[in-house]
Amino acid sequence: MRHEIEKLIETNLDRRKSLAARLVIVRGGHRMIQEVFAKKLGVSTRMYQDFESGKRPLPADMLIEISDAFSIDLNWFLRGLEISDLEGCEEKVGKFVVDLLNYLRIEKQNIHPEGIAAIVSRWTTETRTGRTVSNETVHIWIDLLELSR
């Protein structure tokens, strides 16, 4: 299982798409539609959609604003998951990765590697802080990532 995790983390992911995928997960975690989230950030819906699709980079001040407003770890938001984040929970994360990939295959859901990495990194971050992430929440993340493609 560790091999699968390392392969996922070490994949050469597009940074803008990776950040965009984590943005989708943040919005989904707060159960907001794009229009409401855009309004909270003070940008047009179209501009926000460009952020979420990775067409436009998020400005640094907006990254900090989102991190502060929604209590998101800025390091996770910017970087996602690192091998060092797995210390002590490799087996648990490995099982989650295998289950996630099996679910996506069975359900024929096509999520880009950056989206999968964003889901795994968010799940790992939440789990390491003692929070339980329900399957429903993961399914919402998947649906939102599929819609944002």
pLDDT tens, residue by residue, 51-76: 998 889 889 999 999 999 988 888 88
What range does the domain containing 20 cover? 2-147
- Higher pLDDT: 130 or 81? It is 130
Burial category of 130 from C-beta neighbours within 10 Å (exposed 0-12, middle 13-18, buried 19 and up): exposed
Size of the chain, expressed as the number of residues it contains: 149
Q: How far apart are CA 128 and CA 61, in angstroms?
A: 27
Number of domains in the chain: 1
Q: Which of 83-87, 106-110, 124-128, 132-136 has the lowest mean pLDDT?
A: 83-87
